[in-house]
A = this chain, B = another copy of it.
């Protein structure tokens, strides 16, 4: 007898929406959109990476990624560098200004979320993380054709 999916799905969606509202508002107060923050956070502490890798890590589609990187480049926070090994490919990396923004915003956001979740039950969060990981594994398998 399969478990009815609606209640747990609804809770997953609602919980995510609540998180997105809280986290997104704080990120925007730092001067970035959530997707821009995600790109910067992914590039932080790396030498850069190809668009393809960046898209895989952020689950961002090619067309969207181009737009976001364009706008971050306009802000002077990232740059494109031709790949040394593949004529089709480009490396996206943080500029010095981008690294400064990363150094400022990443700890600020993590710190903020830490305070938001300061009162949570530790054991419960560890359990939640494992259960979410389990569910994600199933969803990702089903998502493959």
Using an 8 Å CB-CB cutoff, how does the interface string of A6-24 with B read, 1 for contact, 0 for none?
1111011111111101110
**Chain A: number of interface residues, binned into ranges:** 35 or more
Main secondary structure on A side of the interface with B: helix
Task: Give min CB distance, A32 to chain B, whole Å.
Answer: 16
Task: Please determine whether B142 and A132 come into contact, CB atoms closer than 8 angstroms.
Answer: no
Q: In whole angstroms, what is the CA distance A6 to B16 when docked?
A: 14
The 10 listed contacts between A and B (C-beta, < 8 Å) are A2-B118, A4-B114, A5-B113, A6-B110, A6-B113, A12-B128, A22-B143, A125-B135, A127-B131, A128-B128
Which residues of chain A have a CB within 8 Å of any CB of chain B? 2-9, 11-19, 21-23, 25, 59, 110, 113-122, 124-129, 131-136, 138-140, 142-143
